[in-house]
C-alpha cells in the first residue's frame, strides 16, 4: 500500500498472524468473510435472475438456463466484481483509519489481515472432528467433518474421517494461511481481501456440477492462478517443517519425494502439492474414493501407505500447519528487523 513502508508492512503482517494465533476467528455475524459470502450470493442471484428455477427450493445441482458462453460471461463479472470490491472496501477502511490517526490505520490494517488468516480456526475445526473420534463417537465425528469437506460424510468410517480431515488441513495450509499471508505482505489488507474473496468465490461457485460448471469457471481459474506460487512455497515449507519436527514420526526426505512423485496427479494444479507433502511426511496414503451427492469419485492417491491412517495423524497435520506458520513468522520478523537495521 502506498502510505506504508516495507518494514511497516512486514511488522503488520507478523502482528496479524499473532492475532490469529491468539484469537482465531470469532463467530461474528459481521466477520468480513461472512460478508463476502453474502455479497457473492447476492450478486449471483442478480446475475442469474432470468434463469429457470432460480427461486426458493431450487436444487443447486439441477440444470439451469442460459448458454455456456452466457454463463461464463456472467461468471467472469462475478469473479471480477467481488474480489475488486473486497479490495476497495479494505483500502477505504484502512485509508479512513489512517486519516483519523496513523496508529488507528496500523490497527485496522492488522486486524483486517488477521481476518483473512485461519490457522487457529483450522486447528479448531480439526479438533472438533478429533475429539469425538477419540471418544468413539463416529456420528458426531461425521457431523463435524461434514462442516469442512464437500464430500458425503454420512457413512464414513474412522479411517476415512481421518483422511478427510488430514486432507483438509493440508490443502488449507495454502488457502487459509500461506496465500493470504503472502498477499498481505505485498499489499496489506486490500490485497489479502482480494485473495480471500477469490478463494471464497471458489469455495462457493467453483464446482464442476451442472449448476456451476460454466458460471463458476472463472472463479475456479482465478483461485488456481492466485494460489499457484503460494502452493509451491507451501510444499517446501512443509518439507522444512517436517525436517525440524523431531517430536513427530515424519520424514522430510519422503515429503520432498512425494511432492515430485504425486502432486501432478491431483486434478487441482495446487492442492496436490501440500497434500502429497503431508502424505509423504507422515508415511500415509491420501486420496482414494470420495462420494459427492451419492456419486463415487476416484481421487488421485498420494503418498506411500507405509502404515494405516490413525487418529493421531490429525494432530500431526495440525502441528505441521503451525510449524509452517512459525517458519514464515520468523522469516518475516527477521526480514523486518533487517530492513530497520539497514535503513538505520
Query: Count of domains in the chain?
Result: 1
* Residue 1: inside a domain: no
Helix, strand, coil % in the chain, rounded to nearest 5: 70, 5, 25
Q: Which domain holds residue 10?
A: 6-343
* Residue 233: inside a domain: yes
* Residue 319: inside a domain: yes
Which pTM was predicted?
0.92
Task: For the chain, 344 residues long, give each residue's pLDDT as a single digit of tens.
Answer: 667 888 899 999 999 999 999 998 776 667 899 899 999 999 999 999 876 554 444 444 444 556 888 999 999 999 999 999 999 999 999 999 999 999 999 999 999 999 999 999 999 999 999 999 999 999 999 999 999 998 888 989 999 999 999 999 999 999 999 999 999 999 999 999 999 999 999 999 988 878 888 999 999 999 999 999 999 999 999 999 999 999 999 999 999 999 999 999 998 999 999 999 999 999 999 999 888 778 788 889 999 999 999 999 999 999 999 999 999 999 999 998 888 888 86
* Residue 61: inside a domain: yes
Is the Cβ–Cβ distance between 119 and 322 less than 8 Å? Answer: yes
Phi/psi at 38 (5° precision): -65, -40
d(CA 179, CA 247): 27
* Per-residue b or e along 267-297, where b marks 16 or more CB atoms closer than 10 Å to that residue's CB: ebebbbbbbbbbbbbbbbbbbeebeeeeeee
* Residue 91: inside a domain: yes
d(CA 329, CA 323): 10
Amino acid at each position: 500500500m502506498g502510505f506504508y513502508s516495507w518494514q511497516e508492512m512486514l511488522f503488520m503482517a507478523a502482528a496479524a498472524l499473532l492475532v490469529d494465533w491468539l484469537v482465531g476467528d470469532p463467530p461474528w455475524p459481521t466477520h468480513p468473510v461472512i460478508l463476502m459470502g453474502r455479497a457473492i450470493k447476492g450478486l449471483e442471484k442478480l446475475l442469474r435472475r432470468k434463469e429457470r428455477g432460480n427461486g426458493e427450493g431450487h436444487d443447486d445441482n439441477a440444470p439451469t438456463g442460459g448458454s455456456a458462453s452466457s454463463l461464463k460471461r456472467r461468471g467472469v463479472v462475478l469473479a471480477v466484481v467481488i474480489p475488486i470490491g473486497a479490495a476497495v472496501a479494505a483500502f477505504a477502511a484502512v485509508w479512513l483509519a489512517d486519516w483519523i490517526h496513523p496508529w488507528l490505520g496500523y490497527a485496522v490494517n492488522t486486524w483486517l489481515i488477521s481476518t483473512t488468516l485461519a490457522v487457529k480456526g483450522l486447528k479448531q475445526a480439526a479438533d472438533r472432528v478429533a475429539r469425538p473420534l477419540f471418544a468413539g463417537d463416529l456420528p458426531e465425528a461425521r457431523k463435524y467433518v461434514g462442516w469442512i469437506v464437500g464430500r458425503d460424510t454420512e457413512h464414513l468410517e474412522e479411517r476415512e474421517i481421518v483422511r478427510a480431515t488430514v486432507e483438509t488441513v493440508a490443502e488449507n495450509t495454502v488457502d487459509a494461511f500461506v496465500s493470504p499471508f503472502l498477499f498481505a505482505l505485498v499489499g496489506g489488507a486490500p490485497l489479502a481481501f482480494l485473495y480471500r474473496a477469490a478463494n471464497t468465490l471458489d469455495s462457493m461457485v467453483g464446482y464442476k456440477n451442472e449448476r456451476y460448471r460454466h458460471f463458476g469457471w472463472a472463479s475456479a481459474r482465478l483461485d488456481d492462478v492466485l494460489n499457484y506460487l503460494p502452493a509451491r512455497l507451501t510444499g517446501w515449507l512443509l518439507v522444512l517443517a517436517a525436517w525440524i519436527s523431531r517430536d513427530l514420526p515424519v520424514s522430510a526426505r519422503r515429503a520432498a519425494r512425494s511432492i515430485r512423485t504425486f502432486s501432478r496427479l491431483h486434478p487441482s494444479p495446487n492442492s496436490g502439492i501440500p497434500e502429497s507433502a503431508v502424505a509423504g511426511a507422515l508415511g500415509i496414503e491420501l486420496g482414494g474414493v470420495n462420494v459427492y451427492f451419492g456419486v463415487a469419485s476416484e481421487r488421485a492417491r498420494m503418498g506411500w501407505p507405509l502404515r494405516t491412517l490413525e487418529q493421531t495423524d490429525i494432530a500431526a497435520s495440525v502441528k505441521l500447519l503451525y510449524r509452517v506458520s512459525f517458519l514464515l513468522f520468523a522469516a518475516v520478523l527477521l526480514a523486518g528487523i533487517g530492513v530497520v537495521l539497514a535503513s538505520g
